[in-house]
Amino acid sequence: MPRYKLVVEYDGRPFVGWQRQTNGRSVQETLEAAAEKLCGTPTRVHGAGRTDTGVHATGQVAHLDFERAWPADTVRDAMNAHMRPEPVAILAASQVGDEFDARHSARRRRYLYRIINRRPPLALDTIAWQVAVPLDAAAMDAGAKHLLGRHDFTTFRASQCQAASPVRTLDRLDVRREGALVTVEAVARSFLHNQVRSMVGSLVEVGLGRWTPDDIAAALAARSRPACGPVAPASGLILTQVDYDDEDG
């Protein structure tokens, strides 16, 4: 059966998350409905990452199998047409080999968290967390560096996380400021449930002066969920890219 790799963008606000659920619409369900309209049979879509309720993506990757081959541009354009007016778009489609798996073939996942650090309300740039009190981005970045490397991230994972191990290797965690925009970029092969939002929420405590950068190291060492700061809202988190050994699939 021909297999296709999809690069997907979506606004997570109307959805219960990536994964199909019984309590509302999901991004996976929206893509599967479009695929079924294209090919006429139920089609399962497999994603590289299960983003939570309200989390966005500019570079989610998925794969699906059809019973017949279609031109890749037809897959992209037809599925996009069937998904209107949902805020989901397939940016690219390509035919790949059977060995490609959107989730298991992934080597790194890249997330960006956006904070708008200003007092006036957000009229246009609403895919962000607005923090009205000034943040010290340099202190946040210093705190972030304590989290780099391979650690037990129990403090920074949701209590309902189903991962077999809390140990992960964080390759990159950078905090930058450009005007009112403060960004946190996180890169790892895989993340725990709510890990990025948990880390960002704790780093904001540093930015507000409530924690020191060294308090991040202490929270990590505690290996205890209560040691985590407030979890950052989903509104600012974006899955921007999934990396593979062979980017052509």
Encode pLDDT of 53-111 as tens digits.
999 999 999 999 999 999 999 999 999 999 999 999 999 999 999 999 999 999 999 99
- Predicted confidence band at 248 (pLDDT cuts at 50, 70, 90)? very low
Mean pLDDT of 180-208: 97
In this structure, the answer to whether residues 140 and 83 fall within a common structural domain is: no
Alpha helix (H) residue ranges in the chain:
27-39, 72-83, 137-144, 195-207, 213-222
Contacts of 40 (CB under 8 A, 6+ apart): none
Share of the chain above pLDDT 70, in %: 98
Q: What is the CATH number of the domain that holds 21?
A: 3.30.70.580
50 part of a folded domain: yes
In this structure, the answer to whether residues 95 and 115 fall within a common structural domain is: no
Mean pLDDT of the chain: 96
In this structure, the answer to whether residues 120 and 44 fall within a common structural domain is: no
- Indicate the residue among 78, 104, 130 that finishes a domain: 104
In this structure, the answer to whether residues 72 and 9 fall within a common structural domain is: yes
Q: Is the pLDDT of residue 249 over 50?
A: no
Share of the chain above pLDDT 90, in %: 93
One of 52, 73, 98, 246 is an active-site residue; which one?
A: 52
52 classed as catalytic? yes
pTM of the model: 0.95
CA angle (146 as vertex; 144, 147 as ends), nearest 5: 70
Mean pLDDT of 129-157: 98
- Indicate the residue among 55, 79, 104 that finishes a domain: 104
- Indicate the residue among 104, 119, 137 that finishes a domain: 104
Whether the bond into 85 is cis, omega within 30 of 0: yes
246 part of a folded domain: no
Number of domains into which the chain is organized: 2
Question: What is the domain range of residue 60?
Answer: 3-104
Angle between helices 213-222 and 137-144 (to 10 degrees): 30
